[in-house]
A and B are shown apart, each in its own frame.
Chain A
Amino acid sequence: DIQMTQSPSSLSASVGDRVTITCRASQAIYNYLAWFQQKPGKASKSLIYAATSLQSGVPSKFSGSGSGTDFTLTISSLQPEDFATYYCQQYYSYPLTFGGGTKVEIK
């Protein structure tokens, strides 16, 4: 199985901050990497697919980068609605696996 290691597991940030979350795969997954946002009691929201492609309707403050084993999700200017937990998912091979999540909290 491909292990996805996400860091940090949590972070505190202020409105307006630039936030970077990383995801590392235990083997090369090319660009088969997605990011999504999860809030309690709400449907998760897809943000990025194919490592760098912005999902339709997602604001451009979200961006993804990376290829191979190392990937990054960046939020350019954190807004109150962005406080949530973020996950990466690899879809290079089965079984599909997820990172452990990064909880973004208000400082």
Chain B
Amino acid sequence: QVQLQESGPGLVKPSETLSLTCTVSGYSISSGYYWGWIRRPPGKGLEWIASLYYSGSTYYNPSLKSRVTISVDTSKNQFSLTLSSVTAADTAVYYCARGDPYPASAAETYYFDYWGQGTLVNVSS
């Protein structure tokens, strides 16, 4: 059974960098699929942040691209998110998820088939 678990600080100060890690169990990241981050600010909808393909290709939401980096550590079966220069608007529940590209498309897109439980990150001084 594929399982994902987010980890990281629950409180980040404004202007600092938010760093989260997703640990995957039950499946090897290096075997395939896409791996991504999604967030939900309080009282708002879900927002896709970024994803990567197991081979290293990365995909970013243009609205956040200038501040976001997604990376993978296959030796630990983890992938990570960093979001720089955070503000209160970045307060949200952050989810990691696996992306399944069925049906395959030229756009290299996917739906999320396995999710973590989510972790709340507050941006506050």
Q: Interface on chain B toward A: helix, strand, loop, or mixed SS?
A: strand
From known contacts A95-B61, A98-B45, infer whether A42 and B100 are also in contact, taking CB-CB under 8 Å.
no
Interface string of B1-16 (1 = CB under 8 A from A): 0011000000000000
A93 and B115 alpha carbons, distance in the complex (Å)? 20
The size of the chain B interface, using a CB distance under 8 A, is 29
A28 and B70 alpha carbons, distance in the complex (Å)? 29
| Residues of A68-101 contacting chain B, CB below 8 A | 87, 89, 91-101
Q: Is B62 an interface residue (CB 8 A)?
A: yes
Q: Are B109 and A92 in contact (CB under 8 A)?
A: yes
Please classify how large the interface on chain A is, using the bins under 10, 10 to 19, 20 to 34, 35 or more. 20 to 34
Q: Is B117 an interface residue (CB 8 A)?
A: yes
From known contacts A44-B95, A96-B109, infer whether A101 and B116 are also in contact, taking CB-CB under 8 Å.
no
